[in-house]
Amino acid sequence: MFRRWLRWRLARNPVGWLEQRRVGGRLVIWGWMAVTVLIYIGCGLDGSFYGDGFMKVQTVLTWLLMGSMAITAAGSFRRERENGMLELLLVSPLGEWALIAGRLRALWSQFLPVTVLFFAVSVFQTMLFGSDESRELRAFLPYLGLAYVTLPVIGLYFSLARQQFIAALFWTLIFGGMLPFALGASGASTEIINSLFRAASYSDDDEGGGFFLTLLLQAGIAVVFALVLRHHLARRKFALQ
Q: What does the radius of gyration of the chain's CA atoms come to, in whole angstroms?
A: 19
User: Could you report the per-residue pLDDT of 204-236, keeping only the tens digit for each?
Assistant: 444 455 567 777 888 888 999 999 999 988 888
Q: Cα 38 from chain centroid?
A: 21
Return the pLDDT at 57: 81
Q: Rounded to an integer, what distance in angstroms lies between the CA atom of residue 7 and that of residue 5?
A: 5
Task: Indicate the pLDDT class of residue 51, thresholds 50, 70 and 90.
Answer: low
Q: Rounded to an integer, what distance in angstroms lies between the CA atom of residue 109 and that of residue 184?
A: 29
- Average pLDDT of span 95-106: 88
Q: Rounded to an integer, what distance in angstroms lies between the CA atom of residue 146 and that of residue 12?
A: 26
Three-class SS of residue 59? helix
Main-chain phi, psi angles of 37, to 5 degrees:
-65, -45
pTM of the full predicted structure? 0.78
Mean pLDDT estimate for the chain: 77
Q: Point out the least confidently predicted range of 7-21, 82-96, 125-139, 223-237.
A: 125-139
Inter-residue contact 202 to 190 (CB < 8 Å)? yes
Other beta carbons within 10 Å of 95: 13
- Average pLDDT of span 122-131: 70
User: Could you report the per-residue pLDDT of 16-35, keeping only the tens digit for each?
Assistant: 777 777 777 778 888 888 98
Return the pLDDT at 135: 57
Return the pLDDT at 227: 93
Beta strands of the chain (E only): which ranges? Answer: none
